[in-house]
Homo-oligomer: A and B are copies of this chain.
Amino acid sequence: MRVANQTRNNREIERKFLLKQPPDQLKRSRHYVIEQGYLATEPAGRQVRLRKKGKTASLTFKVGRGAHREEREIKLSAKQFAALWPGTAGRRLRKTRYEIPWRGLLIEIDLYRGKNAGLVVAEVEFPNLAMCRKFKPPSWFGREVTGEKRYSNVRLANE
């Protein structure tokens, strides 16, 4: 998903919302468990994240905050992941991600586990800024929290 929705200069364009209620089709949707942790994070939003999604491991560098961020991602071998993962101790989170196709876009719904259980967040990525601005959230979306530190994964991993 990330690669397809990235512009050529590795920018990702996305918005984040709380959920009033999960949509009807949630349990029938494609979903998987994500485990992620942070090797290092800076206050301005610069971060290095490790993630395991099923058997696929990756390392992602992000910089910037809000709807418009630079993102660089590489796949890691199981051995590379295992060597780095202990460095994320105390800075990890788990969530189940549901993928919901919606009017030519993809809505990703994250149900957080563990210490953040109960929190449900929806993210939408856009191929360009025009579509990002024009987006009309479905009725089951709640308040927009794009760029709010409180709902950043870095923060949720630490608290």
Contact = CB atoms under 8 A, between A and B. Distances in A.
Interface of A: 10, 39-42, 46-48, 59, 61, 63, 70, 72-76, 79-80, 83-84, 86-87
For the complex formed by this chain, how many copies does it contain in all? Answer: 2
B42 A41 contact: yes
Given A39-B48, A42-B40, A42-B42, A74 B63 contact: no
16 contacts: A10-B86, A39-B46, A39-B61, A40-B40, A40-B41, A40-B42, A40-B46, A41-B42, A42-B42, A59-B59, A59-B84, A63-B87, A70-B87, A72-B84, A73-B83, A74-B84
A88 to B, nearest CB: 9
A87 B46 CA distance: 10
Contacts of A47: 40
A61 to B, nearest CB: 5
A75 B84 CA distance: 11
Nearest to A83: B74
Contact of A72 (B46, B74, B79, B86): B86
Contacts of A80: 74-75
A153 to B, nearest CB: 15
A72 B76 CA distance: 15
A64 to B, nearest CB: 11
